[in-house]
Amino acid sequence: MIGLGRTAHGRLLRPHALSVKIIAGKIENKSLNDRGETKLGVITSDIRRGKFKQVYLLYGEESFLRDAKAQELVDAVIDKDLLDFNYTMFRGSEADISTIGSAIMAPPVLSTRRLVMIKDVDSVSPDNQKLISAALERMPKTTLVILVASAIDQRTTLFKTVSKFGRAVLFRRLYPNQALGWLSGYTRSLGIIMDRPAQEYLVTVLGTELSQLVAGVEKAYDYAGIALGKEKKITIDHVKIVVSGAPEFGIFDLVDAIGERNASKALNSLRQVLSFQEAPLRILYLIARQIRLILQAKVLKDEKMSSTQIAKTLHIHEFVARKCLAQQENFRLEELEHAFDALSQADISLKTSGIPDQIILERLTLHLCDGPVS
């Protein structure tokens, strides 16, 4: 099967351009060696100047920063209004090689460039990697290709072709001091106040993988806001709670899983939260809050609002707006509207029916993830 289509929404917490620049400034001079790899800062320079190579290979263990730089390239190369016409994304493990070749050779529509991204290119067979290399050798000047991989053999034809026509950038796992510096810059770029002991504890417990640190920041921020009734500074106490497996942490996993329509994950999180004796009505409130935000994000997106505008309109942080924008893609408008009927019925049942709370909440969770439960 073919992995086609624009990737309008990526991670729940999409990296700020500023945070990417911060980490780039700290490590780009260590990202060059004698094997054909290019400094990360050179790609930043390409973007700033608007002058691009025809092919970029972004690879390495640091997936968060790697994927952020890939998305930064997408945003810089193709006008967002023309993405549907000029941007195709494939996943290597699922892609049909002839379709990839056709996409690379296709002309742009109402634009000077066409962009093709192949994720997990390291999962493509060696023979098909050679076919991709051949396509890169003869692709039109109007096509730009981004290859993304966790690792790649530098002896391969594909790596050599990239080195000939473009740039190969290695994204190494960060050292603890680098991750701490990145975390400080990242929270500052989002306008979040997080004290130094909280940052140090987060890196110590979660390690240096940036996606894990981002998830920790997000949950600590959410918990701080709900625990204190408004947005406050994130302290080490907030971080200890969200990384300890406490029920507050599970609640945010639950509402995220519902937003992703991942029934199995949502049910597991629900049972974990209930095992900590969390109040069923509080669980229901937080689910309803998330569904309301997702619905509002869908409506405002249809009005052509950006994540920044949505955040201001709803009085939420921009990374929360981006999360809701990602999750609203999983629901039709009528499903979200009907969800409030299910939430109202669950509220009544919890208060009056005598049915065990867990059964009521499990039925609601399955309804929101999969549709009505008979």
Domain locations in the chain? 17-170, 176-242, 247-370
Strand partners, 148: 58
Strand partners, 145: 55, 116
Question: Is CATH 1.10.150.240 correct for 176-242?
Answer: no
Mean pLDDT across 346-353: 93
pLDDT in tens, 38-69: 566 788 899 999 999 999 999 999 999 999 99
Q: What percent of the chain has pLDDT over 90?
A: 57
Mean pLDDT across 97-109: 94
What pLDDT sits at residue 122?
A: 93
Average predicted confidence (pLDDT) for the chain: 84
Q: Measure the CA–CA gap between 295 and 302, rounded to whole angstroms.
A: 11
Query: Are 17-170 and 176-242 the same fold in CATH?
Result: no
Contact 186, 194 (CB under 8 A): no
Mean pLDDT across 257-266: 94
What pLDDT sits at residue 204?
A: 82
Pick the CATH number of 247-370 from 3.40.50.10170, 1.20.272.10, 2.60.120.10, 1.10.10.350: 1.20.272.10
Domain 17-170 carries which CATH code?
3.40.50.300
pLDDT in tens, 176-210: 889 999 999 999 988 888 999 999 988 887 888 89
Instruction: Choose the weakest-confidence range: 16-25, 60-69, 124-133, 343-352.
Output: 16-25
pLDDT of 227 > 80? The answer is: no
